[in-house]
Chains A and B, each alone.
Chain A
Amino acid sequence: MTPLRLIALAIAALALATLPYWMSGIYYVNVASQILFFAVFALGLNVLAGYGGLVSLGHAALFGISAYATGYILQAGFGHPVAIIGALVVGVASMALYAVLSLRSTGIGFIMITLALGEILWGLAYRWISVTNGDNGINLHGRPAPFGIELNTATAFYYTTLVVFALAVVMVAIFVRSPLGAALKGTRDQPRRMNALGYHVWAIRFWACLFSGLLTSLSGILFVYYTQFISPQTLALTSSAEVLLMVISGGAGTLLGPIVGAGLVVIVKSVVSGFLERWNFLLGAIFVAIVILMPEGLVPGTARLWRLAWRRARGGGAPS
């Protein structure tokens, strides 16, 4: 890691750690919490879509399943620790089932199967009213209080989310540098060669799916504790598309990309929508613009422009 990057990382960490003190208003602290848990979600999808080349258009359903599981377990009268662990188990187990069904295929086939699975789960949540309460959803009452710290204030919840977010970033960073992460990138770029080299391509992808499922469940639990409410809308295709857009627009296959993408989408959705009625149009236009100007995503695209400008500034000018 270059010194420049270390400094940037330190500044970002400091800014995030002190955010409630310089950010004016509870509203913006809440927006920051949303960005962080959606970033965890996007990081989870990025493990598959970015590093594994497996684009899932049904991830919101997994996110939603963990949220519903949390709600059900709490309704059944269990405490928060049971609910959280139970929701993680349900989320990862659902991902395992997803993986078994969808890993029969790659490319557009994988997109289609995950989309179908997502729609099935959404359809159940939406229409199986006797079980899921349909569009009225499920309400939660209260947030957990780990180590006696109440999470009911925006600041306390922000710090909880920040801890989970930091954990997720570290986990993904370790995963990407691990032999499994390298093998996953290998199966994305050259599946046949990896197979010929003796790697079990299916198993590598399966483990990546489980890891992605774990991060997705974590973010789903944070989401449901944040909103205190879960409804089928969270599982819909639009939500799956949104998180995929976070990953692609930020830069699939980079650590920073999904975080930037989550920031972009959440800010346009909740802040810009406050004073611009046509925010959906703006979001769509931003996506189209990104594809035209920076097809690799915001983070790698900016890095490329930065390097270009740097070379120009040094007077070289010659393309490498």
Chain B
Amino acid sequence: MTLWLVLAVNSITFGGLLFLLSAGFSLIFGLMRIPNLTHGSLFMLGAYFGATFIGGYLALHFDFWIAALLAALLVAAFGAVVERLLLRQLPGQPLAQVLVTLGISFMAADFCLLVWGGDPINVATPAHLAGFVRAGPAVFPLYRLAVIVIAMVIALALWLLLDRTRLGAMIRAGVDDPDMARVVGIRVSQLFTIVFALGSGLAAFAGIIGAPILSVYPGLDQDMLPLALVVVILGGSGSLLGSFVGSIIVGFIYNFGQALFPELAYFVLFMPMLLVLLLRPQGLFGRFVP
């Protein structure tokens, strides 16, 4: 019973991280119809930058949260530049988009290897969250619970942004019908940059928040990208609720699959995605069929 409870908490924590990663992926995919294959790299870049700010580089030591914010801002700026300079030139050309995003992810992976080397970097949990919470026989690390809370808060903030603000209404209009949104005077191209930067920043933030749990290592990008894809396909692209529900589902499947059927862990992870694609191609909460 204790094992199940611990697994469930771990699943929700991992689901929270996946939500931060995939919310941006889903919005980018939904709004711009770009399969952003750099998203795993953005996660990894965020983790590496954050780890550097925390660990001390050029005689600079930052608090965990400030480092996380800085890393997120840095990667968001990088995302905006990539969107402005490259992806902007390639609307409606999925082949070229795939080529460019994969090319950037190759470069990012090699850049990380060059700067930080091949050894994994362990990021310590922030001191004030290093404790444990006891609930009967089960013991939960405080940090994992904190990650859940952070993910919930950001989910709420994103929901408010998308559902209650003018910017959010414009983004939703862009997702539903980009041409009509342009006709009524929404500058969809500007939205693209904003959404891409936001998605990149969120992915980077997830990377550094996840670092104390997952650690930072070369290949982290390739581990996370397929998970983001699964979430978005399960939940449906362009839908925040879809990303949220999809992330929690994938978090559970991933953790329970690893624990119960270690040999078939990836099989049970990707099977539901295949079923959804076949039975409900727009995803559980999707707004359109890709």
Chain B contact residues: helix, strand, loop or mixed: helix
User: Is A200 in the interface zone, CB < 8 Å from B?
Assistant: no
Mark interface residues in B269-284 (1 if CB within 8 Å of A CB, else 0). Answer: 1110110011001000
What bracket does the count of chain B residues touching chain A fall in? 35 or more
Establish whether residues A119 and B226, one from each chain, have CB atoms under 8 Å apart when the complex forms. yes
> Once the chains are docked, how many angstroms separate the CA of A244 from the CA of B108?
19
Establish whether residues A116 and B270, one from each chain, have CB atoms under 8 Å apart when the complex forms. yes
The segment from B10-18, B55-63, B87-95, B197-205 found at the interface with A is: B87-95
User: Is B233 in the interface zone, CB < 8 Å from A?
Assistant: yes
Establish whether residues B233 and A248, one from each chain, have CB atoms under 8 Å apart when the complex forms. no
Q: Which of A248, A284, A292 contacts B86 (CB 8 A)?
A: A292
Establish whether residues B277 and A281, one from each chain, have CB atoms under 8 Å apart when the complex forms. no
B290 → A minimal CB distance (Å) = 4
> Once the chains are docked, how many angstroms separate the CA of A278 from the CA of B107?
9
Establish whether residues A127 and B264, one from each chain, have CB atoms under 8 Å apart when the complex forms. yes
Mark interface residues in A224-266 (1 if CB within 8 Å of B CB, else 0). Answer: 0000000000001110010011001100100000000000000
Mark interface residues in B28-48 (1 if CB within 8 Å of A CB, else 0). Answer: 010001010100000000000
Residues of chain A lying within 8 A (CB to CB) of residue B150: none
B197 → A minimal CB distance (Å) = 19
Residues of chain B lying within 8 A (CB to CB) of residue A129: 263
Establish whether residues A127 and B262, one from each chain, have CB atoms under 8 Å apart when the complex forms. yes
Chain A contact residues: helix, strand, loop or mixed: helix
Residues of chain A lying within 8 A (CB to CB) of residue B94: 55, 107-108, 111
Establish whether residues A245 and B99, one from each chain, have CB atoms under 8 Å apart when the complex forms. yes
A73-123 interface with B by 8 A CB criterion: 101, 104-105, 107-109, 111-113, 115-117, 119-120, 122-123
User: Is B186 in the interface zone, CB < 8 Å from A?
Assistant: no
Mark interface residues in A5-26 (1 if CB within 8 Å of B CB, else 0). Answer: 0000000000000000000000
Establish whether residues A291 and B278, one from each chain, have CB atoms under 8 Å apart when the complex forms. no
> Once the chains are docked, how many angstroms separate the CA of A229 from the CA of B225?
27
The segment from B109-117, B129-137, B206-214 found at the interface with A is: B109-117
> Once the chains are docked, how many angstroms separate the CA of A238 from the CA of B103?
11
A39-92 interface with B by 8 A CB criterion: 49, 55, 57
Mark interface residues in B95-111 (1 if CB within 8 Å of A CB, else 0). Answer: 11011101111111111
A287 and B266 in contact, given A107-B290, A111-B35, A116-B233 (Cβ under 8 angstroms): no
Residues of chain B lying within 8 A (CB to CB) of residue A248: 95-96, 98-99
Q: Which of A113, A123, A252, A278 contacts B95 (CB 8 A)?
A: A252
A52 → B minimal CB distance (Å) = 13
4 smallest CB-CB distances across A and B, nearest first, come from A123-B266, A284-B106, A287-B103, A284-B107
Give residues in B with beta carbon < 8 Å to A: 29, 33, 35, 37, 86, 89-90, 93-96, 98-100, 102-111, 113-114, 222, 225-226, 229-230, 233, 262-267, 269-271, 273-274, 277-278, 281, 289-290
29 cross-chain CB contacts under 8 A: A49-B95, A57-B98, A105-B281, A105-B290, A107-B290, A108-B35, A108-B94, A109-B289, A109-B290, A111-B35, A112-B229, A113-B274, A119-B266, A124-B267, A127-B262, A127-B263, A238-B222, A280-B109, A280-B110, A283-B103, A284-B105, A284-B107, A285-B107, A287-B99, A288-B99, A291-B86, A291-B96, A292-B86, A295-B96
